[in-house]
């Protein structure tokens, strides 16, 4: 099941970057936290407005973007 419905992009909010609905936390923020070594549990603890599904949505979003770039 896709979690992409948790992600939105709104011009004027965080520069139009993809972010989680109802927050100012961007997908890129979460991906950077993961890349730095934070676990899903640590991210959710640090940002209580997020759930593990939000973190999975960020990973899914990145995978889809990579797939699109690779096929372009």
pLDDT in tens, 8-62: 999 999 999 999 999 999 999 999 999 999 999 999 999 999 999 999 999 999 9
Query: Which of these, 1, 51, 23, lies nearest to 9 by C-alpha position?
Result: 23
pTM of the entire predicted model: 0.91
The C-alpha angle with vertex 19 and arms to 48 and 58, in degrees rounded to 5, equals: 75
- Those residues with Cβ within 8 angstroms of residue 31's Cβ, 6 or more apart along the chain or in another chain: 58, 59, 62
Tokens 């927050």 identify what position? 23
CA distance 53 to 44: 10
């Amino acid at each position: 099941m896709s979690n992409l419905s948790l992600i939105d992009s709104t011009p004027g909010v965080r520069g139009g970057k993809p972010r989680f609905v109802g927050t100012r936390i961007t997908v890129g923020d979460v991906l950077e936290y993961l890349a730095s070594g934070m676990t899903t549990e640590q991210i959710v603890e640090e940002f209580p407005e997020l759930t593990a599904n939000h973190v999975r949505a960020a990973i899914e979003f990145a995978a889809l973007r990579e797939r699109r770039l690779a096929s372009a």
